[in-house]
């Protein structure tokens, strides 16, 4: 079944006119959503801790950032745009007690709602309005008169009024200019985690590493392996992005297309598909969420160790050297 999509005409910005919206966190999403809403005529206040560049940025943009407590207390609509892994503690210690019945609590990603880290007090509806793009794009598309598509999802028991408020919010950040798709918090959370684990981050990184190491172990030069297995991925992904699998296959050589059809299924095998199903089960059961929440509570020791090891891989060292040869790449080293 095709998803329901809402546009500008389905949303009424005037529903936000007498509401104060607190944006908690002035990071990637916070800075974009706050400014777009203000430009749409909404009353926006910012909860942002002092002492860092994001605080200064909020001031530079003409806001007077305050504590999470004060912003929550003064607002009718509270949107938590803090990093997912710290939201649970920040919510319990600084936000929850300052919510009042009738407030609406929002997120841009369902993780903390879905896995019970952000649970609203009685009388507070929850809702997700999630832009399908990074904050800088949410801002720059809005400034050009456009918008980034958004997802909307209502929390358990949320009223029809809250849905209308959500669509108004999505309009305020420019989302209805592009289209707003209705989903559920479970679907948004589970598909997001699955996509990043299996394809976008986990799957692709491991595929690239394995292919690079196969060539290098077979005696090929690491520079050649880097170009073939990592660098050129961008050309392929850009073709996917513009026209799906078919446009990629139309654009590459017939030799490449034949290799794709006949060799690809030997890389992603029945065993790979079975593992995908297992990973999805771990997401659905909350096993992954529990692991990640406990990992953070322990100070993220395993996460930091793996991160260190991954940074010292040969493919990373070769890449740092080769990217210096290509000014147009706009190389980023962190």
Could you list the active site residues? 109
**The token pair that represents 190 in the structure block:** 């589970």
Smaller CB separation from Mg ion, 85 or 192: 192
Which of 12, 192, 282, 316 binds Mg ion (CB under 5 A)? It is 192
Question: For the window 106-125, what string marks contact with ligand NDP as x by the rule CB under 6 A?
Answer: -xxx----------------
Residue 192 site contact among Mg ion, ligand NDP, none (CB < 5 to 8 Å, cut-off depends on kind): Mg ion
**The token pair that represents 32 in the structure block:** 């974009």
Question: Least separation, in Å, of the C-beta of 274 and ligand NDP?
Answer: 29
Residue 27 site contact among ligand NDP, Mg ion, none (CB < 5 to 8 Å, cut-off depends on kind): ligand NDP
Sign of the CA dihedral with 53 first, then 55, 56, and 57 last: positive
Cα torsion 284, 289, 290, 296 to 10°: value is 170
Q: Rounded CA gap, 312 and 317, in Å? A: 7
Which of 71, 81, 127, 248 binds ligand NDP (CB under 6 A)? It is 81
**The token pair that represents 108 in the structure block:** 């841009």
Residue 135 site contact among Mg ion, ligand NDP, none (CB < 5 to 8 Å, cut-off depends on kind): ligand NDP
Residue 244 site contact among Mg ion, ligand NDP, none (CB < 5 to 8 Å, cut-off depends on kind): none
Q: Does 39 engage in binding with Mg ion (CB under 5 A)?
A: no
**The token pair that represents 279 in the structure block:** 């990973």
Give the helix ranges, DSSP H, for 252-312. 254-267, 270-284, 287-297, 301-311
Q: Rounded CA gap, 334 and 280, in Å? A: 31
Residue 203 site contact among ligand NDP, Mg ion, none (CB < 5 to 8 Å, cut-off depends on kind): none
Which of 16, 21, 130, 167 binds ligand NDP (CB under 6 A)? It is 130
Residue 151, φ and ψ in degrees, nearest 5 = -105, 145
Give the helix ranges, DSSP H, for 132-269. 135-143, 160-172, 175-178, 185-195, 202-217, 222-226, 233-251, 254-267
Q: Does 202 engage in binding with ligand NDP (CB under 6 A)?
A: no
Smaller CB separation from ligand NDP, 108 or 318: 108
Nearest to 168 by CA among 315, 12, 331: 12
Q: Which residue's C-beta sits nearest to Mg ion?
A: 192
Please work out the total of residues on this chain that contact ligand NDP, with binding judged by CB under 6 A.
Answer: 23
Smaller CB separation from ligand NDP, 86 or 199: 86
Q: Contact, 184 vs 155, CB < 8 A?
A: no
Residue indicated by tokens 């990992």: 295
Q: Does 28 engage in binding with ligand NDP (CB under 6 A)?
A: yes
Residue 55: other Cβ atoms inside 10 A: 16
Q: Rounded CA gap, 309 and 208, in Å? A: 16
Within 43-62, which residues bind ligand NDP (CB under 6 A)?
Answer: 48-49, 52, 54
Residue 54 site contact among ligand NDP, Mg ion, none (CB < 5 to 8 Å, cut-off depends on kind): ligand NDP
Which of 65, 88, 131, 147 binds ligand NDP (CB under 6 A)? It is 131
Q: Walk across the sheet containing 5-6 and list its strands.
A: 5-6, 180-182, 150-154, 125-131, 104-107, 77-80, 20-24, 43-47
Question: Least separation, in Å, of the C-beta of 99 and ligand NDP?
Answer: 17
**The token pair that represents 90 in the structure block:** 């920040």
Which one of 81-89, 146-154, 205-213, 325-333 is the stretch in contact with ligand NDP (CB under 6 A)?
A: 81-89
Question: Least separation, in Å, of the C-beta of 188 and Mg ion?
Answer: 9
- Residues contributing to the site for Mg ion (CB under 5 A): 192
- Residues contributing to the site for ligand NDP (CB under 6 A): 25-30, 48-49, 52, 54, 81-84, 86, 90, 107-109, 130-131, 134-135
């Amino acid at each position: 079944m095709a998803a329901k999509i809402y546009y500008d005409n389905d949303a009424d910005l005037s529903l936000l006119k007498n509401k104060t919206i607190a944006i908690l966190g002035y990071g990637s999403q916070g800075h974009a959503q706050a400014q777009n809403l203000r430009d749409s005529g909404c009353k926006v206040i910012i909860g942002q801790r002092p002492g860092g560049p994001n605080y200064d940025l909020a001031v530079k943009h003409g806001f007077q950032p305050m504590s999470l407590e004060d912003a929550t207390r003064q607002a009718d609509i509270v949107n938590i745009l803090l990093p997912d892994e710290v939201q649970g503690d920040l919510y319990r210690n600084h936000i929850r007690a300052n919510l009042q019945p009738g407030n609406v609590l929002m997120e841009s990603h369902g993780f903390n709602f879905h896995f019970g880290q952000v649970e609203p007090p009685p009388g507070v509806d929850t809702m997700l309005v999630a832009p399908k793009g990074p904050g800088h794009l949410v801002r720059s598309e809005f400034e050009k008169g456009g918008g980034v598509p958004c997802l909307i999802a209502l929390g358990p028991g949320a009223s029809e009024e809250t849905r209308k408020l959500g669509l108004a919010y999505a309009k305020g950040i420019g989302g209805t200019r592009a289209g707003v798709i209705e989903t559920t918090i479970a679907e948004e959370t589970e598909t997001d985690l699955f996509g990043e684990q299996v394809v976008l981050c986990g799957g692709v990184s491991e595929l690239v590493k394995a292919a690079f190491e196969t060539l290098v172990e077979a005696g090929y030069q690491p520079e050649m392996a880097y170009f073939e297995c990592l660098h050129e991925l961008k050309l392929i992904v850009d073709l996917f992005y513009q026209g799906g699998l078919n446009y990629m296959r139309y654009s590459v050589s017939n030799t490449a297309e034949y290799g794709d059809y006949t060799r690809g299924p030997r890389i992603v095998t029945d065993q790979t598909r079975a593992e995908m199903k297992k990973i999805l089960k771990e997401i659905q059961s909350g096993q992954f969420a529990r692991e990640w929440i406990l990992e953070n509570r322990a100070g993220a020791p395993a996460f930091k160790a793996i991160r260190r090891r991954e940074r010292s891989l040969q493919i990373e060292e070769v890449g740092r050297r080769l990217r210096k040869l290509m000014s147009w790449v706009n190389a980023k080293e962190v």
